[in-house]
Structure 1
Amino acid sequence: MSGASAAGPARDPSHDPAPATGPLQALLGQPAAGGDDDQALVRVVDTPEPRVRHPSDMLGMVTSALGVALVLVLSVVAHATTEGVTQDVQTFNTLLARILFIPVQVLEGLVTLFVPAAVLIELGVRRLGRQVVESICGAALGLLLGVVTVVTISSFGSDELIRGLSVRDDGEWLLTIPGYVSAIAGLLTTAGPRTRRRTVRWSWNVLYLALFIVLITGQVSLPGILVALLLGRLAGQAVQYVSGVRSERAYGADLVTAVRRAGFRPTVLVRVRDSQTVVDADAVDAAEPAADAPDVPADSVVSYDTTGDVVTAVDPADDDVAGIHVGSVSAPAEADGAADGDDAPADPAAVALTRAGDNRVYALFTGDGRRRDVVVLDGDRQVIGTLTRAWRALRLRGLEGRAAISLKAVAERTALLAYAASAAGVRTPRLEGIGVADDSVVLVHEHARGAVSLRDLPDDRLDGPRGDAILAEAWEQLRRAHDAGLTHHTLTPDVLLVHHDEAGDPHVWLTGWEQGEIASSVLSRRLDLTQMLALLALRVGAGRALASAVRALPDEDIAAIGPLLQSIALPPATRVEVRRAKGLLDELREALVERLPQADVQPQNITRFGARTIIMLTLTIVAVTVIVTTINFEEIASAIAEANPWWVAASFAFGAITWFGAALTFSAFSPEKLPLWRATLTQMAGSFVSLAAPAGIGPAALNLRMLTRRGVATPMAVATVALVQVSQFVVTVLLLVVLSIFTGSGGLIELPSTTVLIAISGVGLAVVATLLVPAARRWAWEKARPILEQVWPRLSQMMGQPGRLMLGLGGNVVMTLGYVLAFDAALAAFGQSLNLVDVAVIYLVGNALGALVPTPGGLGGVEGALIAGLTAAGIPASLAFSVTMLYRVVTYWARVPIGWAAMRFLERKGDL
């Protein structure tokens, strides 16, 4: 017999005796040698996917949307630059008018008419009717997005944004986002890649030329063109992702061709799924089709779907696969595992292989009766893997930063790691061949016969000495890899396989080396040890897993594991299971300290950046954006210029006292000793966080973070923070009552401002009327009960410490009075004065109402409520605006840089 070239270390009768060319030649696509046996009957049990959704289309949609947002921002921020570029290009206008003999409008019409027509005609000639419809949908969606964008920007956009996207026409600014450009871009994107469609290739070139012409003739702006193109790309990629694209994966005859190029002559290929019965070659031969089934040519590839209802005859010589229904065929059970006529479960090792990676897996049977596993790498699936590897390497220290960016590179890397692991003496399935067809690469592996993954291994097999032997074998395989400089990086329950020989001795296979690394660092190898320890602890418990590690590893490596026992160090599959087994990592740390009391288990920073860094960067971006887009610097400057500088300084000083008051309460209610200086810095940092969080939410989150970082249990920390907030509310109400009594003429009814009194009375009546309704009472109790349940245990403890309780309430008084006095000083800065109780009521009510607006720091809501309150109290509207702006500057905006510095300091010290 003759066939494809052989590849891999194994050579047996299933391989073709043609000269060996090795995996590299097979990967490059060297065709198999022809022969009579190449046309033998091959059965493929599979369900081909004629259309697939490419993750790259989703990535393209996100990129296009971000591109649109970036262009809109730059059109405002860098308006002078974009306008200057447009004007520079338009200097060629006069020269172009002399050269062009076709009016620009005619050119636009030709592009709009003939480009879509040419593309659709080519698709029609190729009999791609569905793609014709999809292209039309892409054009329609692109046009719709363009129109919606123009309407939205015209209605809600700022003057700067509209100006940045406009051109001057007859002395007026005209918003230009050409919808026809979005439509054509959407059509060309959906029609297919330019490398496969000739009309698509030259249509893009014609479109770019037309856009250059309309740009230099001053009919559109540069940002407008970019937005239109990106909207068209977004529309086309959205249609492709929703509808799917024609699959370029190797199925049927193409899959058989790839396996033959790997050096094997298959008789049966069976798709392995979690719930599918794996089919044995002998069992397939025993399956009989229905009586009415027509004859299938002997030189065909026969394809069964997983339900066994359709048989497809495929001629390997044909480019197009033609399917014919030949009746019902039952998918037979695997001969190795079938018993009493029942369907056997899928082979555990093969199923583990499918779960361990995001690739197709097939059971390969050849004429010699041996079974092998075929892993198929599809080009369209590599985008997710590449992004995952790049993100993990970027975020986590100790991992290789390079990531394969093409299917060929991924296959080469996988093959290299498989060969390296085998050469290191690791018990892993040997890579025996590589083949390529269409947009797929097949890797033919030795089958781990009789092996079961650690996930599926019965509990009783891990008990006693036999279980200890399995744990020791797992550590031994990892040690062999590390001795050769290899690391695995993704130790999950599906890559550790266990089987027992005839004598009952266990053997462990270590599979799934795709994410591994050659010539790895010490940190990278220790991350592997951490993953293995967590993996074993999930099955046998923390104490026993650590005991097995102690027997296999030196004390230095055991001690190094402690700081790495973090969820971020674990692969996603293991991390999910560790989170379900609550407290497992803490148990491992405790067991490690028992074994090595001198070991340090304080978590080590192994991330280049984490959630805190992302939050910090986000807050900074939000802060800059809010400051640039919401502050009217001219109005603020004029308001401050007219104010008395001494009263401005006094207002800022009173506002700064609020930090100390809040810190006093926080420190007094803390269950652990909390230095007042640290607590004050935390409140300062809250001034920065409030730029990106609604009023009160940001500081509370920082308080919670401070407590948990200092070792306070999360339930206790939550109760403490809730007690702080409830006490602030209670003190605010009580202080309002006390101020009204002692600053008026002796009673609550003596409040100077009738308007304020009516407002408070109205709110009170509304609350009472609402609580008279049973349904409203139940709703209010359901909302209040969780808070009370959290606060009451901590409040009960504080009752036994009256000194600390009074200190905490006193801090709330200081904080509230600080804000009230700061507001009063802002009034005095403009020569205005009100009764202190009026000032307190206006501030407290206005701040509470403004805080209901879900904007960072209550922006907009607080200002509006304070201005309305001052105006109702008799302050002229212009002065009320100036007072409010000054107050917000000294108690909100001016504190942002101080809060940022405080937060950075606390982060460096490890308190946040």
Structure 2
Amino acid sequence: MRVDGREITVSGNLLQPLVRRTNDIFRLSMATVFLAAVVTSSLVTRRDWVALERSISGVVALLTPTQSNLVYLAYGVAILALPFAILIGLITARQWRLLAAYAAAGVIAVLALSINSSGFSAPRWHFDLDDRLRTLLSQFLDDPRWIAMLAAVLTVSGPWLEARWRRWWWALLLAFVPIHLVVSAVVPARSLLGLSVGWFVGALTVLVVGTPALEVPLDGAVRALIRRGFAVTALTVVRPAGAGPLVLWAACEVADDPDVSHVPRVVTEPPQAIVEMYGPNQRSGGIVSQVWRRVRLRNSETAPLHASMRRAVEHRGLMAIAIGELGVANSTTIALAALERGWTLYAHTQPRGVTLDATSADVSLVGPVWQALGVLHRHQISHGDLRAKEITIDDGAALFGGFGSAEYGATDVLLQADIAALLVSTTAIFGAEASVGAAIAEFDETTVLNASRRLTKAALPKHIRDSVPDASVVMTAARDEVMHQTGTDRIKAETITRFTRTQVIQLVLLVALVYVAYPFISTVPAFFSELRTANWWWALLGLTVSALTYVGAAAALWACASGLVSFSHLAIMQVANTFAATTTPAGVGGLALSTRFLQKGGLGSLRATAAVALQQSVQVITHVALLIFFSVIAGTSTNLSHFVPKTTVLYLIGGIALGSIGIVTFVPALRHWLGTAVRPRLKELGGELVELMREPKRLAIIVAGCAATTLGAALALWASVEAFGGGTTFVTVTVVTMIGGTLASAAPTPGGVGAVEAALIGGLAAFGVPAAVAVPSVLLYRVLTCWLPVFVGWPVMRWLTKNDMI
């Protein structure tokens, strides 16, 4: 390459890979919205469009027929020549990879508007005006397919074109609307359809193919370096442009040009530099990432937004100068300049020293690293990217590089984030004891303790966690060492997000509650009309029995936990448990809530999980035993086909079960999982049951609590049936409740909504209860045992959360 008479050797590949960038997605999204708007408005208000365009055309059509024909002819020549001019320009620039996308976009756009119910033909949405100029050129202007093709090829070739030519050609294409109105020869509405289709096809083609390689203005970069007294003699590509900037290594000699002799020289010995070049599409996702951080994190956690890619690069260069003045920067800024075609240059000297992750892990080096961070913090500067590869050791001193996230005048939050990040980076290299000790020696214990609250996955940025092996273990080790050296019993995690995990879970549960309650809401009017004839004393009995089931469930879980938690709080938790279990499929939310409550009550994770599993196991055993007992009492003559699956379904369930057993048997990974994960749990549960048999009093409490839960639900349904004048026995209702509830438990809907009602109504009908009684009885039963506790459970869950019980 020759620049201003200088011969410069360039080695390496300068081309960017084809990648799908954020602006490609934005372009396609906007094209989709525009196409939908044009198509919808054309279909819905086509007559209004025609009337409006005729009226406007009649008002602004000031040209005589001869003048209109000349304008029409000139514009037609320009539109006809436009695609060929773009094609010639691409061939001249040797953009061979673009030609296939260029041709594909044009052909697809034309075909998209040529297909109708009768085959291939052009749309005919214009007026038949006898005074129109009828020439070959006018047919191109009248045909929306030509406009669509032009829009498609312009969109595809846009990333390769210079901004000036791109703007002029788009202005020429969009000029068809005012020209058509002035000439009063054609309705532009159909051309808008061509424009929207072409833009959509072109945007989709660019997204599929990827943003192309752009011409790199190396001559401008060389001139910018020469102006700084850095006469480049050779450029070597270190890293092609892609997810990051184009990085080049530049060799030079001291500039001897008289015109630049007055410029301060910042060259090194030997003269060399690292040149980073950011293309116009290089950081298209930067603003999206910054906005997402603003939405997700609190304001104190995010730095001010950079308005553009150039401002972000300038910020990095200025921070390098500021930190260099403090003597802790490993490189010096050489040049920063805006180049042609939207590129930005940032050049700096080669980093001095050896990166921290490449050192011999000498413990004596951890002190200088923390001392260097102390220098930054005393000047109210945060680094923001304290990975080991951004820290170098030069002659025993620690230096920093990579200042893209640095902030001058940083807040206390950003300074604490620096300390937490460096704790992770240094702990991974030097160990927790040396790292925490050096941090406390440089800062005080309170500062390090407050910063250690950010040693969590949510608080530490992903690039920091990815820079160390097994980040979770490293964070735990650093946090434990901070507690040890500061004498603290517990470190509470810092909340950095706008919404905590608990708030997100509660929001999801509320949405689920609305979803599952919607089918019930539709039956509310008919249900309330039936309530006028209900016996409210029976309904009150059902409500009382429903409340007692929570006492039974609490007693069973209290005994499973060996009485190590508060029984009263456990009973209150059962109300919140109903909310969590109803709003999640298969009741998994209730199990998770119970486990969490026991953990907060002082039980370990394994002990809490075992207690919940034990309670559920005894509940199943008790349920099956009661079902067999009451089924025998009810007799075998009753028709249960309404809620018992058909033989085909039973065979299907059996086949699926056998197939699952076969898959587990023949797949090694599943056998390993069964042996390492499931079998130990089952063995532990079996041991718990055997141990429970040796404690009759505790066993009796658990069985009585589980039985009270099952029988209480049956008694509540029986009271609901009696409230509407039903004539069935408690034994039959118990069978219906247990069988119907068992079958509906497999339903995928939260709380079994829909499945429970259908199973119970069908079961009551099988025992001869009329539908006029069964339907309102089941709805009242669900109100008493499900919906009232659910709406009460929401504030109860918030109260438990506020008091740190869950």
- Unmatched 5+ residue regions in structure 1? 1-33, 72-81, 103-113, 148-179, 211-218, 220-224, 274-305, 307-353
Partner in structure 2 of residue 642 of structure 1: 530
Looking at structure 2, the residues matched to 717 and 548 of structure 1 have their Cα atoms a distance apart, in angstroms, of 39
* Structure 1 residue 772: Cα displacement: 7.7
Which of 677, 688, 703 is the equivalent residue of 1:809? Answer: 703
- Map of 1:626-775 to 2, 5 A cutoff? 627=517, 630-631=518-519, 633-643=521-531, 644=534, 646=536, 647-670=538-561, 673-690=564-581, 693-709=584-600, 712-741=603-632, 743-744=633-634, 749-750=635-636, 752-755=638-641, 759=645, 775=662
1:364 is paired with a residue of what secondary structure?
strand
Partner in structure 1 of residue 378 of structure 2: 483
Partner in structure 1 of residue 724 of structure 2: 830
Cα pair 2:640 2:766 within 8 Å, conserved? no
Cα pair 2:459 2:494 within 8 Å, conserved? no
Q: Give the letter for the 2:208 counterpart.
A: V
Partner in structure 2 of residue 566 of structure 1: 456
Answering whether residue 372 of structure 2 is matched by residue 518 of structure 1, we say no
Partner in structure 2 of residue 462 of structure 1: 361
Answering whether residue 12 of structure 2 is matched by residue 42 of structure 1, we say no
* Closer, same or farther: CA 685–117 of 1 in aligned 2, 3 Å: farther
* Structure 1 residue 903: Cα displacement: 2.8
Looking at structure 2, the residues matched to 421 and 381 of structure 1 have their Cα atoms a distance apart, in angstroms, of 26
* Closer, same or farther: CA 481–823 of 1 in aligned 2, 3 Å: same
* Closer, same or farther: CA 566–97 of 1 in aligned 2, 3 Å: closer
* Closer, same or farther: CA 136–697 of 1 in aligned 2, 3 Å: farther
* Structure 1 residue 536: Cα displacement: 0.8
Cα pair 1:258 1:441 within 8 Å, conserved? no
Cα pair 2:535 2:724 within 8 Å, conserved? no
Cα pair 1:399 1:524 within 8 Å, conserved? yes
Partner in structure 1 of residue 70 of structure 2: none
Cα pair 2:598 2:608 within 8 Å, conserved? yes
Scaled by the length of structure 1, the TM-score of the pair is 0.66
Whose helix proportion is higher, 1 or 2? 2
- Map of 1:423-502 to 2, 5 A cutoff? 423-437=325-339, 438-449=341-352, 451-457=353-359, 461-463=360-362, 467-468=363-364, 470-499=365-394, 501=395
Partner in structure 2 of residue 382 of structure 1: 283
* Structure 1 residue 372: Cα displacement: 1.6
Q: Give the letter for the 2:526 counterpart.
A: S
Cα pair 2:101 2:205 within 8 Å, conserved? no
Partner in structure 1 of residue 510 of structure 2: 620
Looking at structure 1, the residues matched to 709 and 152 of structure 2 have their Cα atoms a distance apart, in angstroms, of 58
* Closer, same or farther: CA 542–808 of 1 in aligned 2, 3 Å: farther
Partner in structure 2 of residue 557 of structure 1: 447
Q: Is 381-390 or 135-144 further displaced after alignment? A: 135-144
Answering whether residue 427 of structure 2 is matched by residue 537 of structure 1, we say yes
Partner in structure 2 of residue 364 of structure 1: 250
Looking at structure 1, the residues matched to 147 and 771 of structure 2 have their Cα atoms a distance apart, in angstroms, of 49
Q: Give the letter for the 1:272 counterpart.
A: V
* Structure 1 residue 198: Cα displacement: 4.9
Partner in structure 2 of residue 373 of structure 1: 274
Partner in structure 2 of residue 408 of structure 1: 310
* Structure 1 residue 609: Cα displacement: 2.3
- Map of 1:44-193 to 2, 5 A cutoff? 44-49=11-16, 51-58=18-25, 96=52, 99=55, 124=87, 126-127=89-90, 129-133=99-103, 135-136=105-106, 192=158
2:234 is paired with a residue of what secondary structure?
strand
* Closer, same or farther: CA 823–552 of 1 in aligned 2, 3 Å: same
Number of aligned positions between the proteins: 709
Scaled by the length of structure 2, the TM-score of the pair is 0.74
Looking at structure 2, the residues matched to 651 and 208 of structure 1 have their Cα atoms a distance apart, in angstroms, of 76
* Structure 1 residue 818: Cα displacement: 3.2
Cα pair 1:390 1:401 within 8 Å, conserved? no
Looking at structure 1, the residues matched to 215 and 587 of structure 2 have their Cα atoms a distance apart, in angstroms, of 54
Q: Is 92-101 or 614-623 further displaced after alignment? A: 92-101
1:52 is paired with a residue of what secondary structure?
coil
* Structure 1 residue 483: Cα displacement: 0.7
Looking at structure 1, the residues matched to 502 and 319 of structure 2 have their Cα atoms a distance apart, in angstroms, of 35
Q: Give the letter for the 1:49 counterpart.
A: Q
* Closer, same or farther: CA 769–613 of 1 in aligned 2, 3 Å: closer
* Structure 1 residue 182: Cα displacement: 12
Cα pair 1:672 1:712 within 8 Å, conserved? no
* Structure 1 residue 580: Cα displacement: 1.5
* Structure 1 residue 474: Cα displacement: 0.5
Partner in structure 2 of residue 844 of structure 1: 738
Looking at structure 2, the residues matched to 187 and 821 of structure 1 have their Cα atoms a distance apart, in angstroms, of 74
1:419 is paired with a residue of what secondary structure?
helix
Q: Give the letter for the 2:55 counterpart.
A: I
Looking at structure 1, the residues matched to 708 and 100 of structure 2 have their Cα atoms a distance apart, in angstroms, of 71
- Percent of residue pairs identical: 24
Looking at structure 2, the residues matched to 721 and 197 of structure 1 have their Cα atoms a distance apart, in angstroms, of 68
* Closer, same or farther: CA 906–738 of 1 in aligned 2, 3 Å: same
Looking at structure 1, the residues matched to 314 and 786 of structure 2 have their Cα atoms a distance apart, in angstroms, of 57
Partner in structure 2 of residue 213 of structure 1: none
Cα pair 1:722 1:791 within 8 Å, conserved? no
Q: Give the letter for the 2:559 counterpart.
A: A
Looking at structure 2, the residues matched to 579 and 907 of structure 1 have their Cα atoms a distance apart, in angstroms, of 35
CA-to-aligned-CA distance 1:823-844 (integer Å, 9 cap, x gap): 3334334333434344334333
Looking at structure 2, the residues matched to 688 and 208 of structure 1 have their Cα atoms a distance apart, in angstroms, of 62
Looking at structure 1, the residues matched to 151 and 715 of structure 2 have their Cα atoms a distance apart, in angstroms, of 60
Cα pair 1:473 1:507 within 8 Å, conserved? yes
CA-to-aligned-CA distance 1:322-345 (integer Å, 9 cap, x gap): xxxxxxxxxxxxxxxxxxxxxxxx
Cα pair 2:744 2:755 within 8 Å, conserved? yes
Q: Give the letter for the 1:430 counterpart.
A: T
* Structure 1 residue 241: Cα displacement: 2.3
Looking at structure 1, the residues matched to 761 and 103 of structure 2 have their Cα atoms a distance apart, in angstroms, of 57
* Structure 1 residue 579: Cα displacement: 7.3
Looking at structure 2, the residues matched to 184 and 861 of structure 1 have their Cα atoms a distance apart, in angstroms, of 57
* Closer, same or farther: CA 877–598 of 1 in aligned 2, 3 Å: closer
Partner in structure 2 of residue 299 of structure 1: none
Looking at structure 1, the residues matched to 709 and 558 of structure 2 have their Cα atoms a distance apart, in angstroms, of 14
CA-to-aligned-CA distance 1:496-523 (integer Å, 9 cap, x gap): 2224x3xxxx222211221122211223
1:848 is paired with a residue of what secondary structure?
helix
Looking at structure 2, the residues matched to 671 and 376 of structure 1 have their Cα atoms a distance apart, in angstroms, of 67
CA RMSD of aligned residues (A): 5.0
Partner in structure 1 of residue 122 of structure 2: none
1:568 is paired with a residue of what secondary structure?
coil
Q: Give the letter for the 1:364 counterpart.
A: A
CA-to-aligned-CA distance 1:481-504 (integer Å, 9 cap, x gap): 1011011222112212224x3xxx
* Structure 1 residue 793: Cα displacement: 2.3
1:857 is paired with a residue of what secondary structure?
helix
Q: Give the letter for the 1:271 counterpart.
A: V
* Closer, same or farther: CA 797–723 of 1 in aligned 2, 3 Å: closer
Looking at structure 2, the residues matched to 857 and 257 of structure 1 have their Cα atoms a distance apart, in angstroms, of 71
* Structure 1 residue 624: Cα displacement: 3.8
- Unmatched 5+ residue regions in structure 2? 59-75, 91-97, 118-145, 181-188, 255-269
Looking at structure 2, the residues matched to 856 and 666 of structure 1 have their Cα atoms a distance apart, in angstroms, of 23
The structure that has the greater radius of gyration is 2
- Map of 1:302-313 to 2, 5 A cutoff? none
Looking at structure 2, the residues matched to 200 and 723 of structure 1 have their Cα atoms a distance apart, in angstroms, of 72
